[in-house]
Amino acid sequence: MYWQRHPSIKHQAEIEDYLNIYQHTPLEWPVRKAWLEYLKENNEKAAYIRNYRETSNTGLTCTYLDFQLDLGAPEKAILNQVTDLWAVGKSQPNGCDSLFSTWRKKGYMKDETVWKRVTLAAEGGKQSLLPYLKTLLPSKERYLADLYLKVRKDPSAAAGLYRYKNKSAKEGQIAIYGVKRLVWRDKELALKAWEKLEKIFKYSDEEKADVYYTFALSLASSGHKQASFWLNKVPKERLDSKLIQWQLGNMLKTQDWEGIAAFFTGKENLSLGQQYWLAYSYAQRGEQKKANDIWEKVAANRDYYGFLAAARLGLPVDLNNQPLAVDKVLVDKVSNAPGFKRAKALYDIERFTSARREWNYLTDTSSDEEKLAASQLSTDLGWHDSTIFTLAKIKAWDNVDQRFPFAFQDVFERYSKRSKIDVAWSIAIARRESSFAPDARSHANARGLMQLLPSTADYVNKSSVTSNRLYQPKTNIRLGTSYLQYLKKKTTVMRCWLLLLIMRVITV
């Protein structure tokens, strides 16, 4: 975009016209950001304030507030906003320094605000901030920043009771933070430490419940012998789907059919999995009719547990597919929308990221019926990932053909056959990992349809593969199916090795 690369005060009118025309579209922000940075560098305060829009860019926000103060805005209204910008667990841009300095000189930096930032920096934020924040604490509390840093680096430090000199609420806060991390590393030490900490600090019921929750989750997920005890200590109001799942898993492990029935009977809004296992517990207790009645309801759903329930009852699986049916007039309307035309043009020249921004803006500002029409268009054009995510926005789960397309079918069939693996497996991997987006790239640097790491691709190919080639569907599928073949062989070998080991043990 020309104005993004060449902002100039000489063209102020044209730039501001552009920003008004493309307001709230993906074309707006890159130009507005460049324009604001230009205005800042040239000290055009009034123009900056006029063109500023609310943003997550902290540096731009600080400049906006700074310029407002310079031009006579009410000091209190501005500086009250600065508190939230300062009290974060990371360093803020250097451009905020002058604003923060003014805020501090005017007396807005309170002790409780400093402690809030210490907590945020210590508990998951930038620990390197703590030495600086320590200097802002009252002298009698500066040791707390050192204690927080020690516990952040080594959670076992929380078990050292001698560290808590004053048995204060803030020391208790640090102890809880430490013991909640410690239970994931050294469960026995954490259990012993909490038994003592609970006695020396006056914790609220809410604080205790927070510890109980973390302990229950950690112990249950590792199969610890005390898992049941801690699961039962968690207050009912703190039970969520994650903890209920582990509670169920723990009862299944111990074959506590009575416990499962008692836990779930009478509860509303049970998930399909919970209903399935409730029925299973009835079956194990000999109450087959109760079990079958529940399984019949579960089997009517297109879901993992629906399929399991159908298998229990000997029923065929119900996919409940409802083909996409959209009014042609509505499809024509969406296809003529400027946003769709821009998205298509960008897709055609393989500017996929920009195309998706346009697509997301188009669908985010559309009705549910228009989203269905957009999904029809994206399906027709082979933009499978756009179809999948758009249908998900409106929970159109029953459009199975569109949500689970046989994309790149001929390529998958060719290379799956060559690698001697089930084509359904390879297609399912691509659907799960990339939603059939050839240009997909994960935070872990996995790339393409089947989300291959460059190192994995090199290993499978037995020679170096350039990263960009992993975005080519044929290359990605060829290497991806070869890797699945390798995993299949490896698993088979492991099974055979374990079988031989078991046979040796039996015959000894």
Residues 6+ away with beta carbon under 8 Å from 409: 427
Q: What is the mean pLDDT of residues 287-301?
A: 95
Average pLDDT score over the chain: 93
| pLDDT tens, residue by residue, 402-436 | 999 999 999 999 999 999 999 999 999 999 999 99
Nearest to 342 by CA among 327, 357, 328, 324: 357
DSSP string spanning 215-237? HHHHHHHTT-TTHHHHHHHS-GG
Q: Dihedral of CA 422/426/429/435: which sign?
A: negative
DSSP string spanning 397-419? TT-HHHHS--TTHHHHHHHHHHH
**473 falls in which pLDDT band (50, 70, 90)?**
very high
Question: What's the pLDDT score for residue 498?
Answer: 57
Distance (Å, rounded) from C-alpha 87 to C-alpha 99? 14
Distance (Å, rounded) from C-alpha 39 to C-alpha 37? 5
What residues are paired with 447 via a beta bridge? 441, 452
Helix axes 272-284, 304-313, angle to 10 degrees: 30
Question: What's the pLDDT score for residue 321?
Answer: 85
DSSP state of 104: H
DSSP state of 452: B
- Tokens of residue 36, six digits: 């604001």
Contact (Cβ atoms closer than 8 angstroms) between residue 71 and residue 49: yes
Question: pTM of this prediction?
Answer: 0.79
| pLDDT tens, residue by residue, 171-211 | 999 999 999 999 999 999 999 999 999 999 999 999 999 99
Residues 6+ away with beta carbon under 8 Å from 78: 65, 68, 69
| pLDDT tens, residue by residue, 269-291 | 899 999 999 999 999 999 999 99
DSSP string spanning 163-178? G-SS--HHHHHHHHHH
**505 falls in which pLDDT band (50, 70, 90)?**
very low
- Is residue 158 exposed (0-12), middle (13-18) or buried (19+ Cβ within 10 Å)? buried
**268 falls in which pLDDT band (50, 70, 90)?**
confident
In order of 225, 238, 306, 312, 336, the CA distances from 275 in angstroms are 26, 21, 10, 13, 47
Residue by residue, what is the 3-state secondary structure of 474-505? HHHHHHHHHHHHHHHHHHHHHHHHHHHHHHHH
pLDDT above 70: percentage of residues in the chain: 97
Residues 6+ away with beta carbon under 8 Å from 246: 216, 217, 220, 221, 227, 231
Amino acid letter, 473:
P
Distance (Å, rounded) from C-alpha 454 to C-alpha 140? 53
Contact (Cβ atoms closer than 8 angstroms) between residue 386 and residue 392: no
In angstroms, what is the C-alpha Rg of the chain? 30
Residue by residue, what is the 3-state secondary structure of 242-297? HHHHHHHHHHHHCCCHHHHHHHHCCCCCCCHHHHHHHHHHHHHCCCHHHHHHHHHH
Nearest to 231 by CA among 249, 245, 243: 243
Question: What's the pLDDT score for residue 319?
Answer: 82
In order of 41, 84, 297, the CA distances from 34 in angstroms are 11, 25, 57
Give the chain's length: 508
**497 falls in which pLDDT band (50, 70, 90)?**
low
| pLDDT tens, residue by residue, 102-158 | 999 999 999 999 999 999 999 999 999 999 999 999 999 999 999 999 999 999 999
Q: What is the mean pLDDT of residues 451-480?
A: 94
Q: What are phi and psi of 441, to 5 degrees?
A: -145, 125
Question: What's the pLDDT score for residue 145?
Answer: 97
Ramachandran bin of 482, using left for φ above 0, alpha for ψ from -120 to 50, beta for the remaining angles:
alpha
Say how many C-beta atoms besides its own lie within 10 A of residue 253's C-beta: 12
| pLDDT tens, residue by residue, 32-58 | 999 999 999 999 999 999 999 999 999
Residue 150 belongs to what H/E stretch?
A: helix 142-153
Contact (Cβ atoms closer than 8 angstroms) between residue 159 and residue 138: no
**87 falls in which pLDDT band (50, 70, 90)?**
very high
**325 falls in which pLDDT band (50, 70, 90)?**
confident
**1 falls in which pLDDT band (50, 70, 90)?**
low
The residue with greater pLDDT, 1 or 504, is 1
Question: What's the pLDDT score for residue 506?
Answer: 43
Q: With a cut of 80, say whether residue 508 has pLDDT above it.
A: no
DSSP string spanning 329-366? HHHHHHHTSHHHHHHHHHHHTT-HHHHHHHHHHHHHTS
- Is residue 375 exposed (0-12), middle (13-18) or buried (19+ Cβ within 10 Å)? buried
Contact (Cβ atoms closer than 8 angstroms) between residue 123 and residue 177: yes
Q: What is the mean pLDDT of residues 372-378?
A: 95
Nearest to 282 by CA among 296, 303, 301: 296
pLDDT above 90: percentage of residues in the chain: 84
| pLDDT tens, residue by residue, 334-357 | 999 999 999 999 999 989 999 999
